[in-house]
Amino acid sequence: MEQRVNLKFLVKLGKTFTEAYAMLKEEYGNECLSRTQVFERFKRFKEGPDTTEDDSRPGRPSMSKTDENIRTVCQNSIPNKRNQELAKEKKPG
């Protein structure tokens, strides 16, 4: 994240891609973002406002614990009195 913020600053200063990458490489050494990553971010920052946050990624959601999922697990697990009570507590309304 820090490197992206610094890169955005370098773009605002009017640095070229080559200058910006060299500065990042000098500062961060082996921990520097790859040339491709720097180029992609540089291009985005140059074209207009862009966030320094991570890009969204396809795949499973980061959290799947919902009231509905809890109810489903409770209802489908081995029936016992406590599970039935939990399922009733989680019902809407």
Instruction: Tell me if the domain spanning 2-47 has CATH number 3.40.50.
Output: no
Q: Quick one: pLDDT at residue 66?
A: 73
CA distance 49 to 91: 44
Q: Quick one: pLDDT at residue 71?
A: 75
CA distance 11 to 52: 13
Whether the predicted model's global pTM rises above the 0.75 cut: no
Looking at the predicted structure, is the pLDDT value of residue 67 above 90? Answer: no
Residue intervals in the chain for CATH 1.10.10: 2-47
Per-residue pLDDT tens over the stretch 35-46: 999 999 999 888
Question: Do residues 44 and 50 make contact, with C-beta atoms less than 8 angstroms apart?
Answer: yes
Higher pLDDT, residue 73 or 14: 14
Per-residue pLDDT tens over the stretch 9-28: 999 999 999 999 999 999 99
List the structure tokens of 8: 């955005």
